[in-house]
Amino acid sequence: MLKSTYGIGAVLALGVLTGAAFAQDKPVAGEVKEGSLKGKTLTFVSYGGIYQDGQVAALKEFVDKSGVKLLNDGPTEIAKLQAQVESGNVTWDVVDTDDLPPYVYCGKLFQKLDLTKLDVSKIPEGQVGECSVPAMNYGVVLMYNKEKYKNNAPKSWADFFDTEKFPGVRGIDGSGSPAGGLLEQAFKYAGGDPKAMTVADIDKAIDVIRKLGPDTIFWKTGAESQQLAESGEADMLMMWTGRAMTAVKNGAKYAPAWQDWLVVMDQMTIPVGVKDTDAAYALLNAYLGKNAQEILTEKTSYTPINSEAQPKVDASVAAFLTNTPERQKQGYKQNFKFWVPNFAVAQEKWSALMAGN
Amino acid sequence: MSALDPTTPSVPQRAGWAWRPYALTLPALLLLVAVIGYPLLTIVLRSLSEPQWGPQNYVWFFGAPVNLTVLQRTFTISAWVTVVCVLCAYPYAYLMTAVGPRARLVLVLCVLIPFWVSGVVRTLSWVILLQDSGVINSLLRSAGFDGVRLIRTQTGVVIGMAQVLLPFMILPLYSVMKGIDLRLVQAARSLGARPSRAFFTVYLPLSLPGVYAGAIIVFILALGFYITPALLGGPRSTMLSTLVQTQVLSLLQWGRGGAMGVVLLVTTFVLLALAAPVMRSRHREAGRR
C-alpha cells in the first residue's frame, strides 16, 4: 500500500516536475536540484568524530538546497547493516565503510551502483567500485622515532620488519581487520611476490609480523596510536596519516617514511533495500562535488577524492595529504582481487595472531 | 451462620494474597524473559542453525587451538582477578565495620565514587599509570630501579580489572561482616584463643558467605570483560569476548559468535556447579560453630 502510493508519487514527480532533468540531464558532481528532496529524510552513517562532522559540513549545501532532512547515525558496523537487510527494515540510506566490505558484500548488503545517476568523472582512477564510490583517501604510513634512529632512519616496510638492523618496539594497527597492504609488504620481505600471493602465503606474511617479537604493540584505536607516538612508547609505528599528522602537530618527534605508504580509502555505499534509492544517489552525487570535497579536507585533513578540489590547508596538514604527484608515485595499492575472496581467511588468521597464537 | 461469617471471608482473602508476591515479581520476570531469555534462546538457535542446521560451529570452536587457549586464558585471568579482589576487599570491608560512622562514610565514598565513573575512563587512567613511560615506571626509574612492563601484559589486565570490579567484592562482604556479632570473637579470646585463632575459627567462617557472594559476582563479571583487556592487554591477554566480537562484527559469523557465547556460559555453569557443594558445606560448618 505504502509502496504503491510512493510509486505514484515518484511517477508524478518524474513526469510533472523534474522529468526532463532526471531522465536526460547527466548528473554533475556536487549539484542538486533546488527543493528536489523536500519532505524527505536521509540517514547518513559514518564513523563519528571530526570525520563525520566534516562530512556533514561538506553536505550542508546539499541539505540546504535540496530541502532534505539529514539524520546522522553511526558508527558503521557491517553486522548492524546485515541485521537491517535481513529483517527487511533498512534505516541506513548512505553508509561510509572501510575498503573491503563493499567488495565482499557487493549485491548482498550493498547495491550495485547505477553510474548514470552519479558523476564519477573527477574521481581518481581505479577507485570506483561496483558497489561503491570513495568517501575520502588517506594512507597508512610508517612513522619512526627521529631521536631513536638518528643516523639510520628506516626507509621502507622492509626496514620495519628488520629488527636486527633496526632494533626497537613496533606498533601495528590491531584495530580490527588485517591491512592487506601490510601483509603484502610482509610477504615481500619474506621473499615472496605479492602479485602472486596464495592463501597459504598469508601464513608466511603473518609469520613475519609474529617474528617482530612479544614487545610488538597492536594498537586498538587511532587515538591509541597517536598516544603511542606522543609518549614515545613505540619506535616505529604503522599509523593512519590523519593521526600521524595530529601527533606531529602535538610535538611527537616522529617522521614519516613515505616509500610504499599504503593507500586506503573509505567507501560510500547505498545498502540493499533502502526506501528511496534516488535520494541516496542525490546525496552521493553532491558529496563527490569539488566544493564538498574541499570542505571535507579543510575540516578533517583527509585527502579529497575530487581531483579538482583545491582545499586551503596549513603546512602541517598539507605535509600529510596523499594526493600530490610525489605521494601518488610512492603509494602502494593492495591487491583487491586477492583480498576480497580471501577476506574471511585472512581475518581468521589475523585474529589468531591478535589473540596471541 | 454469623459465627462462621468472620472466618469464611478471611480464607479466600488469604488465598488471594498468596499469589501477590509472585505478581509483584512479574515485571522483573517479564523483563528477564524479554531481555535475557529470548535473546539467549536466539543465540543458542543461531549457533546451531547458521549457516545450516548442525553442530558445525561447535566443531569449529573445539577444532581451533586459538579458541581453546583463549577460553582457558579467560578463566585464568578471571580467577586471578577474583583472588586479587578478595585479598584487597577483605581487610577494607573489615575496616568499614570497625571504624566510626564518619570514617565509614569516607570509606564507602572511596568505594562508590570510582564505581560511578565509567569503566572506560578508569581503564584509560590505568593506561596512563601503567604504560612504559607512565607514572609507575617513571617513579620506579627515578628511584633507581629498572622499569617493569605492565601494560600489554596479563598482570596489567588483572590490575585494571580488579580495580574496576573491587566494589562488587567490597559491598557484599561489608553487608555480611556488619552482621557478625563481634562479641563472638571476644568470647573466643576470653576463652584463651590467640587473636589469629579467634579470627580463623570464628570470624572468617562467619564472613565466608560474603566472600562467596562477592567472588561469584566478580568472577562472572570478569568472564565477560571486553574493554579493559582490549585496552590494557596485548595479544597474550586477549579474552573470549574479543574473539566473539571479531566473529560477529567483522566476519558476520553470528553462528560462531553464538557458539562461543554458549560455550562460555556452559563452562561457567559447570564450574559454579562444581564449586557449589564446597560453599554449601562450609556454610553448614560455620552455622554449627
Query: Which residue in chain B is spatially nearest to A79 when comparing CA positions?
Result: B249
Query: Which residue in chain A is spatially nearest to B152 when comparing CA positions?
Result: A217
Whether B69 has a pLDDT exceeding 90, the answer reads: yes
Please, are residues A253 and A145 in contact by the beta-carbon 8 Å criterion?
yes
User: Three-state SS string across chain A, please?
Assistant: CHHHHHHHHHHHHHHHHCHHHHHCCCCCCCCCCCCCCCCCEEEEECCCHHHHHHHHHHCHHHHHHHCCEEEEECCCCHHHHHHHHHHCCCCCCEEEECCCHHHHCECCCECCCCHHHCCCCCCCCCCCCCCCEEEEEEEEEEEEECCCCCCCCCCCHHHHHCCCCCCCCEEEECCCCCCHHHHHHHHHHCCCCHHHCCHHHHHHHHHHHHCCCCCCEEECCHHHHHHHHHHCCCCEEEEEHHHHHHHHHCCCCEEEEEEEEEEEEEEEECECCCCCHHHHHHHHHHHCCHHHHHHHHHHHCCECCCCCCCCCCCHHHHCCCCCCHHHHHHCECCCHHHHHHHHHHHHHHHHHHHCCC
Residues 6+ apart with CB under 8 A from A178: A346, A347, A349, A350
Q: Is the model more confident about B251 or about A27?
A: A27
Q: Is the model more confident about A215 or about B266?
A: B266
B200 Cα distance to chain centroid: 25
Task: For residue B232, tell me if it sits in a domain.
Answer: yes
Q: Are residues A206 and A340 in the same domain?
A: yes
Task: For residue B145, tell me if it sits in a domain.
Answer: yes
Q: How far B46 CA sits from the closest chain A CA (Å)?
A: 13
Burial (CB < 10 A; 0-12, 13-18, 19+), residue A314, is exposed
Query: How many other CB atoms sit within 10 Å of the CB of residue A238?
Result: 25
The pLDDT value given to residue A16? 45
Burial (CB < 10 A; 0-12, 13-18, 19+), residue A20, is exposed
Q: Are residues A44 and A127 in the same domain?
A: yes
Whether A89 has a pLDDT exceeding 80, the answer reads: yes
The shortest CB-CB distance from A355 to any of B132, B235, B249 is to B235
The answer to whether A77 contacts chain B (CB < 8 Å) is yes
Rounded Cα distance, A354 and A357, in Å: 7
Q: Are residues A121 and A43 in the same domain?
A: yes
Chain B residues in contact with A177 by the CB 8 A cut-off are: 250
Strands A69-73 and A236-240, bridge-based pairing: unpaired
Rounded Cα distance, B205 and B214, in Å: 15
Strands A94-97 and A254-269, bridge-based pairing: antiparallel
Task: For residue B35, tell me if it sits in a domain.
Answer: no
Task: For residue B235, tell me if it sits in a domain.
Answer: yes
Whether A355 and B234 lie within 8 Å, measured CB to CB:
no
Whether B3 has a pLDDT exceeding 70, the answer reads: no
Whether A231 and B230 lie within 8 Å, measured CB to CB:
no
Task: For residue B55, tell me if it sits in a domain.
Answer: no
Rounded Cα distance, A128 and A114, in Å: 12
Q: pLDDT tens across B156-198, in order?
A: 999 999 999 999 999 999 999 999 999 999 999 999 999 999 9
A-B CB pairs within 8 A amount to: 64
Whether A351 and B243 lie within 8 Å, measured CB to CB:
yes
Q: Are residues A310 and A257 in the same domain?
A: no
Rounded Cα distance, A154 and A148, in Å: 11
Which CATH number belongs to the domain containing residue B126 in this structure? 1.10.3720.10
- The torsion defined by the Cα of B171, B172, B175 and B176, in degrees rounded to 10, comes to -150
Which CATH number belongs to the domain containing residue A196 in this structure? 3.40.190.10
Query: Which residue in chain B is spatially nearest to A171 when comparing CA positions?
Result: B234
User: What's the half-sphere exposure (Cβ side, CA atoms, 13 Å) at A340?
Assistant: 13
- Give A 94-113 residues with CB within 8 A of chain B: none
Query: How many other CB atoms sit within 10 Å of the CB of residue B181?
Result: 10
C-alpha closest to that of A233 among B240, B165, B282, B151: B151
Whether A78 and B65 lie within 8 Å, measured CB to CB:
no
Q: What is the mean pLDDT of residues A12-23?
A: 46
* Partner residues linked to A240 by β-bridges: A140
Q: Are residues A199 and A336 in the same domain?
A: yes
Please, are residues B164 and B119 in contact by the beta-carbon 8 Å criterion?
yes
What are the grid coordinates assigned to B115, written together?
564505581
Q: pLDDT tens across A270-329, in order?
A: 999 999 999 999 999 999 999 999 999 999 989 999 999 999 999 999 999 999 999 999
Distances B183 to A289, B91, B190, B196, B199 between C-alpha atoms, Å:
82, 19, 10, 16, 12
Return left, alpha or beta for B169; rule: phi > 0 is left, psi -120 to 50 is alpha, else beta.
alpha
Rounded Cα distance, A203 and A199, in Å: 8
Using a CB–CB cut-off of 8 Å, the residues of B that contact A are: 64-66, 69-70, 73, 127, 131-133, 152, 230-231, 234-238, 242-243, 246, 248-252, 254
**Residue range of the domain that includes B159:** 74-288
Whether A356 and B242 lie within 8 Å, measured CB to CB:
no
Cis bond leading into A75, ω under 30°?
yes
Chain A residues in contact with B251 by the CB 8 A cut-off are: 344, 347-348
Whether B250 and A348 lie within 8 Å, measured CB to CB:
no
Q: What is the mean pLDDT of residues B122-146?
A: 91
What are the grid coordinates assigned to B285, written together?
560448618
Q: Are residues A20 and A115 in the same domain?
A: yes
Query: Which residue in chain B is spatially nearest to A75 when comparing CA positions?
Result: B249
Q: Are residues A100 and A78 in the same domain?
A: yes
Please, are residues A177 and A350 in contact by the beta-carbon 8 Å criterion?
yes
What is the sign, positive or negative, of the torsion defined by CA atoms of A56, A58, A60, A62?
negative
DSSP B145: P
Q: Are residues A56 and A28 in the same domain?
A: yes
B242 Cα distance to chain centroid: 19
Whether A233 and B132 lie within 8 Å, measured CB to CB:
yes
What are the grid coordinates assigned to A338, written together?
586477492
Q: Are residues A300 and A346 in the same domain?
A: no
Please, are residues A109 and A78 in contact by the beta-carbon 8 Å criterion?
yes
How many domains are there within chain B? Answer: 1
How many domains are there within chain A? Answer: 2
Q: What is the mean pLDDT of residues A345-352?
A: 91
Rounded Cα distance, B168 and A65, in Å: 55
Q: How far A290 CA sits from the closest chain B CA (Å)?
A: 33
Q: Give the number of residues written for chain B.
A: 289
The pLDDT value given to residue A13? 47
Q: Are residues A151 and A130 in the same domain?
A: no
Q: What is the mean pLDDT of residues A70-83?
A: 93
Rounded Cα distance, A205 and A201, in Å: 6
The pLDDT value given to residue B286? 52
Rounded Cα distance, A229 and A236, in Å: 9
Rounded Cα distance, B128 and A231, in Å: 10
Chain B residues in contact with A224 by the CB 8 A cut-off are: 231
Q: How far A322 CA sits from the closest chain B CA (Å)?
A: 27
Whether B69 and A351 lie within 8 Å, measured CB to CB:
no
Chain A residues in contact with B235 by the CB 8 A cut-off are: 174, 218, 353-356
Q: What is the mean pLDDT of residues A249-271?
A: 95
As a whole-number percent, the residues of chain A with pLDDT over 90 amount to 82
Task: For residue B142, tell me if it sits in a domain.
Answer: yes
Q: Are residues A255 and A166 in the same domain?
A: yes
Burial (CB < 10 A; 0-12, 13-18, 19+), residue B163, is buried
DSSP B182: T
Whether A220 and B235 lie within 8 Å, measured CB to CB:
no
Query: Which residue in chain B is spatially nearest to A342 when comparing CA positions?
Result: B251
User: Which of B67, B70, B151, B252 to substitute to test the interface with A, most A CBs within 10 Å?
Assistant: B252
The pLDDT value given to residue A15? 46
As a whole-number percent, the residues of chain B with pLDDT over 90 amount to 72
The shortest CB-CB distance from B69 to any of A79, A347, A357 is to A357
Q: pLDDT tens across B193-244, in order?
A: 999 999 999 999 999 999 999 999 999 999 999 989 988 998 889 999 989 9
Chain B residues in contact with A351 by the CB 8 A cut-off are: 66, 243, 246
Q: Is the model more confident about A65 or about B286?
A: A65
Query: Which residue in chain A is spatially nearest to B135 when comparing CA positions?
Result: A231
The shortest CB-CB distance from B252 to any of A79, A353, A356 is to A79
The shortest CB-CB distance from A177 to any of B73, B243, B250 is to B250
Q: How far A128 CA sits from the closest chain B CA (Å)?
A: 23
Q: How confident is the model at residue A6 (pLDDT cuts 50, 70, 90)?
A: low
Please, are residues A273 and A88 in contact by the beta-carbon 8 Å criterion?
yes
Q: pLDDT tens across B254-282, in order?
A: 999 999 999 999 999 999 999 888 877 65
Task: For residue B48, tell me if it sits in a domain.
Answer: no
Three-state DSSP state, B54: coil
Q: Are residues A106 and A224 in the same domain?
A: no
Q: How confident is the model at residue A20 (pLDDT cuts 50, 70, 90)?
A: very low
The answer to whether A175 contacts chain B (CB < 8 Å) is no
Chain A residues in contact with B231 by the CB 8 A cut-off are: 220, 224
Residues A321-330: contacts with CB under 8 Å, at least 24 apart: A321/A297, A322/A137, A322/A138, A322/A139, A322/A241, A322/A261, A322/A263, A323/A124, A323/A137, A327/A139, A327/A258, A327/A261, A330/A258, A330/A259, A330/A260, A330/A261
Task: For residue B32, tell me if it sits in a domain.
Answer: no
Query: Which residue in chain B is spatially nearest to A350 when comparing CA positions?
Result: B246
**Residue range of the domain that includes A228:** 138-264+322-354
Q: How confident is the model at residue A19 (pLDDT cuts 50, 70, 90)?
A: very low
Whether B66 and A217 lie within 8 Å, measured CB to CB:
no
As a whole-number percent, the residues of chain A with pLDDT over 70 amount to 93
Query: How many other CB atoms sit within 10 Å of the CB of residue A134?
Result: 22
